[in-house]
């Protein structure tokens, strides 16, 4: 695994592997424990396929009680746990550990309750994002966050990474659409946060859990907000001769107070790849393409479309094409949603980045990315959520060529550092995982990181949940001033107390 250092495996735990397997089989009977290397191979990586590591054991519970028993056992025995949903993570968040169990939640795949009166649905974490919409579509409802991987990614993973999607500009990220959680703590205790009600008193633990990347607990039930389909939705394709003009158009649309249902951007390599893959009707003679969708009452949509067309024309748009049917609107989006697999046809491998910037910095950042591309000798295709400044550059490389993966990693690091430099952040929706872990210090000082780790210590006193992720240097809880006393003893007695 180039450029990636994970915690050194605990040899004492590895020596006990057979004992641990037998204990877990008693806790999760049937076929809930996988220990054969070949059978564990599907779990060795996630969507960030540059890195691979077989777990010590895979455990597939099917009930909250089984999750509770497994976590309690691991906590008592000092065994690391990596929670995993569908494995579509693009930051290495579900990367297994050699001396840890991988806790797969794929069996938690039921829709438990649909409450149209309260406009919410209760589902298990292994339900896919798109399946929630399918479950409520017959009554004209849908679940708003829609990552490009929505056909495969699960709602539990969406919560872990605070996923977004092409319609997050208007309808928010996962955190804005989750109402309640059932969470199993590392000690095996089960807690419930929020519910069908719209607000809760006390600390915002729901917000804390959303985006916590599996470091604080394991989610076993989710209550999400569902919305009614808008009366009208129309999309417009706007082509530009430069990415800078497209970026300026995005800034002006937002500055005019127009909140589009979605506003996406692709550059020329991504446009051509998507068009060849899906045949969405994209113009091929432009350098940048915006997809802007307006939704709401028909009169409002028509009015806003006219305003967007005027702004686009003033920003040197080369072409403007408005959808004239629902099928055409869906076709416009099909190309965008297939952009990632489509770009995979351009190169043996690509490295998908995720950073967020202030919208007005878009022209500058795109220009600097072209400079990076020349410097590293690697092509880049840009596909991103332009409306909220969430960039997804796809760096094209060939892992079979010596040194190209390292160059892609360095290229990606430069992009993320640039995002922070212009006032943005390291991630928008893919999480930190291992990919951005060692860049956290470019955004946070040690005091910031210590306070974040104190939160982790409050939930995970032994640092067993998804270790090696998010924090560049994981400090022990006692070093951070949290003294957990168990049975009259403190951990790490050799370290002086505060």
Candidates 286, 360, 272, 336; CA nearest to 316 is: 286
This prediction has a pTM of 0.91
pLDDT in tens, 294-325: 999 999 999 999 999 999 999 999 999 999 99
User: Quick one: pLDDT at residue 490?
Assistant: 40
User: Quick one: pLDDT at residue 244?
Assistant: 85
For residues 444 and 435, the answer to whether their CB atoms sit within 8 Å is no
Dist. CA 298–CA 231, nearest whole Å: 7
> Is 184 strand, coil or helix?
strand
Cα–Cα distances (Å) from 303 to 224, 300, 318, in that order, read 32, 5, 21
pLDDT in tens, 108-124: 999 999 999 999 999 99
Cα–Cα distances (Å) from 70 to 34, 140, 207, 219, in that order, read 14, 40, 25, 14
Dist. CA 388–CA 315, nearest whole Å: 19
Candidates 211, 5, 13; CA nearest to 100 is: 13
The domain locations on the chain are 11-104, 111-228, 232-341, 347-435, 449-498
Does the domain at 111-228 match CATH 3.30.465.10? Answer given as yes
For residues 256 and 307, the answer to whether their CB atoms sit within 8 Å is yes
Instruction: Please indicate whether residue 477 or residue 449 has the higher confidence score (pLDDT).
Output: 449
Average pLDDT over residues 19-32: 96
Give yes or no for residue 1 having a pLDDT over 60: no
Dist. CA 308–CA 20, nearest whole Å: 61
- Torsion of the alpha carbons at 163, 168, 172 and 177, rounded to the nearest 10: -60
Looking at the chain, the whole-number percentage of residues with pLDDT higher than 90 is 84
Dist. CA 248–CA 242, nearest whole Å: 10
Of the candidate CATH numbers 2.40.30.170, 3.30.43.10, 3.20.20.30, 3.30.1370.60, the domain formed by 11-104 belongs to: 3.30.43.10
Strand partners, 227: 142
Cα–Cα distances (Å) from 134 to 138, 140, 283, in that order, read 8, 10, 31
User: Quick one: pLDDT at residue 312?
Assistant: 97
For residues 34 and 57, the answer to whether their CB atoms sit within 8 Å is yes
CA 143 to chain CA mean position, Å: 17
User: Radius of gyration over alpha carbons of the chain, in Å?
Assistant: 23
- Per-residue pLDDT band at 6 (split at 50, 70, 90): confident
Q: Which CATH class is domain 347-435?
A: alpha beta
Give yes or no for residue 50 having a pLDDT over 60: yes
Average pLDDT over residues 477-495: 50
| Residue in this structure with the two tokens 């790849």, named with its chain if needed | 273
Candidates 100, 95, 117; CA nearest to 44 is: 95
Average pLDDT over residues 123-151: 96
User: Quick one: pLDDT at residue 357?
Assistant: 95
Average pLDDT over residues 364-384: 94
For residues 228 and 136, the answer to whether their CB atoms sit within 8 Å is no
What is the topology classification, in CATH, of domain 232-341? Alpha-Beta Plaits (3.30.70)
User: Quick one: pLDDT at residue 481?
Assistant: 64
The whole-chain average pLDDT of the chain stands at 92
Same fold, 11-104 and 111-228: no
Ramachandran quadrant class, 324 (left: phi over 0; alpha: psi -120 to 50; beta: rest): alpha
User: Quick one: pLDDT at residue 145?
Assistant: 96
- Per-residue pLDDT band at 497 (split at 50, 70, 90): very low
Give yes or no for residue 485 having a pLDDT over 80: no
Give yes or no for residue 489 having a pLDDT over 80: no
Give yes or no for residue 11 having a pLDDT over 80: yes
User: Quick one: pLDDT at residue 82?
Assistant: 98
Dist. CA 287–CA 280, nearest whole Å: 17
> Is 404 strand, coil or helix?
helix
Token duo for residue 268? 């020329």
User: Quick one: pLDDT at residue 476?
Assistant: 73
Token duo for residue 162? 């605070």
- Per-residue pLDDT band at 493 (split at 50, 70, 90): very low
């Amino acid at each position: 695994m180039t450029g990636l250092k994970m915690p050194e495996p605990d040899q004492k735990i590895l020596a006990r592997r057979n004992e641990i397997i037998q204990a877990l089989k008693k806790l999760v009977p049937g076929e809930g424990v996988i220990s054969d290397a070949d059978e564990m191979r599907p779990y060795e990586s996630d969507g960030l396929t540059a890195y691979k590591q077989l777990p010590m054991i895979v455990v597939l519970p099917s009930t909250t009680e089984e999750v509770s028993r497994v976590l309690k056992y691991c906590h008592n025995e000092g065994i690391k746990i990596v929670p995993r949903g569908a494995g579509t993570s693009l930051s290495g968040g579900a990367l297994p550990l050699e001396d840890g169990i991988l806790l797969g939640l794929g069996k938690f795949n039921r829709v438990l309750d649909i409450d149209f009166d309260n406009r919410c649905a209760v589902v298990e974490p292994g339900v896919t994002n798109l399946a929630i919409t399918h479950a409520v579509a017959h009554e004209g409802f849908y679940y708003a966050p829609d990552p490009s991987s929505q056909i495969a990614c699960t709602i539990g993973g969406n919560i872990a990474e605070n996923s977004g999607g092409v319609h997050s500009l208007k309808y928010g990220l996962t955190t804005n659409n989750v109402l309640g959680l059932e969470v199993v703590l590392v000690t095996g205790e089960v807690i419930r946060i929020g519910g069908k009600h719209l607000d809760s008193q006390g600390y915002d633990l729901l917000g804390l859990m959303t985006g916590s990347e599996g470091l604080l607990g394991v989610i076993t039930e989710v209550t999400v907000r569902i919305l009614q389909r808008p009366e009208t939705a129309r999309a417009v394709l706007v082509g530009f001769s430069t990415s800078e003009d497209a970026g300026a158009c995005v800034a002006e649309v937002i500055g005019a107070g127009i909140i589009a249902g979605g506003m996406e951007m692709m550059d020329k390599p991504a446009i051509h790849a998507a068009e060849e893959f899906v045949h969405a009707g994209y113009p091929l003679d432009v350098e940048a393409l915006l997809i802007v969708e307006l939704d709401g009452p028909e009169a409002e949509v028509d009015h806003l479309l006219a305003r967007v067309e005027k702004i686009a024309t003033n920003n040197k748009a080369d072409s403007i094409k408005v959808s004239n049917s629902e099928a055409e609107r869906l076709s416009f989006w099909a190309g965008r949603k297939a952009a990632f697999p489509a770009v995979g046809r351009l190169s043996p491998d690509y490295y998908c980045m995720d950073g967020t910037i202030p919208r007005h910095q878009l022209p500058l950042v795109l220009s600097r990315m072209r400079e990076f591309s020349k410097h590293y000798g690697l092509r880049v295709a840009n596909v991103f959520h332009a409306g909220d400044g969430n960039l997804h550059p796809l760096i094209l490389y060939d892992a079979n060529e010596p040194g190209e993966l390292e160059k892609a990693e360095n290229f990606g690091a430069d992009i993320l550092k640039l995002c922070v430099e212009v006032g943005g952040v390291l991630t928008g929706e893919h999480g930190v995982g291992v990919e951005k872990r060692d860049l956290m210090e470019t955004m946070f000082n040690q005091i910031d990181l210590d306070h974040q780790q104190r939160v982790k210590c409050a939930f995970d006193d032994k640092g067993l949940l998804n270790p090696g992720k998010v924090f560049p240097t994981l400090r022990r809880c006692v070093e951070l001033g949290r003294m957990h006393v168990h049975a009259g003893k403190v951990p790490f007695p050799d370290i002086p107390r505060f």
